[in-house]
Structure 1
Amino acid sequence: MAEAPLLVFDFDGVLVDGMAEYWWSARRAALALRPELHLPEHAPAAFSQLRPLIHKGWEMVLAALELSRPDLNLPAYLADYDHQLQTALRRWQLEPQTLQQTLEQQRAEAIQAAPAAWLSLHRPYPGILERLQALEAEGSPWRVLTTKGGAFARQLLEAYGLTPEAVDGHEQGSKPEVLDQLSRQQERPLWFVEDRRPTLEAVRATPSLQAVRCFLVSWGYLAPGDLEQLPAGITALHPEQFAAPLARWP
């Protein structure tokens, strides 16, 4: 490999399985906004089905609110998520900013009150921590690009003893925007590792990012069929490939 790439990793669904925390925080935020609702303590199956479609934190709070409705039409959500999302915002008379702020407030309070309990809601995927530590030992640069708040991702990484080059949260803009800035700032090849196919497709649709190598991991929050018939420029990445030297990545 002539020049080591800069590896850019998504966080939830690539490095860490945060499904338990997602529901825990979404439920708390939903109840903070609508205390009269009844929501189960453990994530319902429908939430797991919606998770691959959720792009930003505020959407999972809205999903929790929607799951309180006995007449929720889950197939309609799965068939046309974006339309249902906008309908739900009008139904609950809430703005994305309000949902996001409530979510981050609930997370911040939980971390301050019981940091170990909050951390325990996350589970690094098998072999991930060891591979990232190996990258650091090899001098291969890597960073994190997440739609989670950057501060929360940094706290988790610090708890695992990991020190990426940087952590970019939703505050820095969309993933294509951040990758575009990175591509202009340095000369290393960019490799982007993500578990959300629509995000990778958005990157591939950005003219200035055609040189970015995009990998869709097989172990994240995938929707059925996500790994099938991948478009040009997006490559599936399986655990055994992730564990291999970078020169052997597909």
Structure 2
Amino acid sequence: MNHRPLLVFDFDGVIVDGMAEYWWSAWQACRRLDAAPEDLSPDEVPDAFRLLRPWVHHGWEMVLLAAELPVLDPQVWLQSYGEAQASALHRRGWQPEQLQAALDASRDGAVRQNRSAWLALHRPFPGLVERLRQFEAEGVDWAVLTTKTQVFTAELLNSLGLHPWRLDGREAGAKPQVLLQLQKQRTLCGFVEDRRATLEAVRSTPGLERLPCFLVSWGYLRPQDQSNLPPGIALLHPDRFRAPLAQWP
């Protein structure tokens, strides 16, 4: 067993800001479904999409949001996101699987046709690349665990010159289960995420109750996500993230 400590990171919303890519790809996926919001530009993220992004859990939801954006009331979706989503799916006769397939096809086409332009839609959060490179000097390895597909995430990491000890994408399964597998191989010193519900699921998983979890303050957070965090989940601000790992909350 490798005894160097391992710090595990989510990717989008933690390492990179993918908001522009999410909107662009969702718009292109809508076009594949003959539902592109023509009055909105794929190159400029609408305020309503940015506002609702923290409620999104799966990629296909962004395709639905993009299609609905010209007619939806953001406050209705904020108050009852699940109900509004289910109603829109039913009205359009869509299934999540077809929306996810359209999204994946849009991304795949973008990578093949103009890789550099697609990569440019993702921007690392300030200081993240430099900080990740510093962990080596602290004797800490780092890994990436994301709901993005492995191939897309690998493309992005390579473009940033980042090489994690391990990369697990959507294909690897649920994050708690992947963390349990990693724990058998490495000494985990923390999991860094921007989705509170994911961290709560990790902490409630048998075998992961003592895994330190960190919610980044710079991610796609809902207003209430930073308040009254349960034991074992600490809010991580940029200044603390830049400090040595031993000084994290």
Moved more, 131-140 or 25-34: 131-140
- Flag the 1:80–1:181 CA change in 2: closer, same or farther, 3 A: farther
- Flag the 1:62–1:35 CA change in 2: closer, same or farther, 3 A: closer
How big is the shift at 1:137? 4.3
Output the amino acid matched with 2:92. Answer: W
Matching of residue 188 in structure 1 with residue 187 in structure 2: yes
* Structure 2 equivalent of residue 99 of structure 1: 99
Structure 1: give runs of 5+ residues left out of the alignment: none
- Flag the 1:95–1:136 CA change in 2: closer, same or farther, 3 A: farther
* Structure 2 equivalent of residue 58 of structure 1: 60
- Flag the 1:178–1:33 CA change in 2: closer, same or farther, 3 A: same
How big is the shift at 1:134? 1.2
Structure 2: give runs of 5+ residues left out of the alignment: none
Matching of residue 9 in structure 1 with residue 9 in structure 2: yes
* Structure 2 equivalent of residue 199 of structure 1: 198
How big is the shift at 1:182? 1.9
How big is the shift at 1:162? 0.8
Identity %: 53
CA contact (8 A) 2:27 2:36 kept: no
* Structure 2 equivalent of residue 176 of structure 1: 176
How big is the shift at 1:14? 0.5
Distance 1:236 1:37 in 2: 37
* 1:98-137 deviation line (CA, Å, top 9, x unaligned): 1111111111111111111111111111110001111234
SS at match of 2:223: coil
Deviating beyond 6 angstroms after TM superposition, the runs of 4 or more aligned structure 1 residues are none
How big is the shift at 1:181? 2.3
SS at match of 1:209: coil
TM-score by length of 2: 0.92
SS at match of 2:90: helix
Distance 2:36 2:247 in 1: 54
- Flag the 1:104–1:134 CA change in 2: closer, same or farther, 3 A: same
SS at match of 1:148: coil
- Flag the 1:39–1:200 CA change in 2: closer, same or farther, 3 A: farther
Matching of residue 233 in structure 1 with residue 232 in structure 2: yes
Matching of residue 31 in structure 1 with residue 31 in structure 2: yes
Matching of residue 216 in structure 1 with residue 215 in structure 2: yes
* 1:12-48 deviation line (CA, Å, top 9, x unaligned): 1100011111100011001111246425112211111
* Structure 1 equivalent of residue 75 of structure 2: 75
How big is the shift at 1:242? 0.7
Q: CA RMSD in A?
A: 1.6
Distance 1:36 1:216 in 2: 34
CA contact (8 A) 1:56 1:148 kept: no
How big is the shift at 1:5? 2.9
Distance 2:139 2:155 in 1: 22
The number of residue pairs the alignment matches comes to: 245
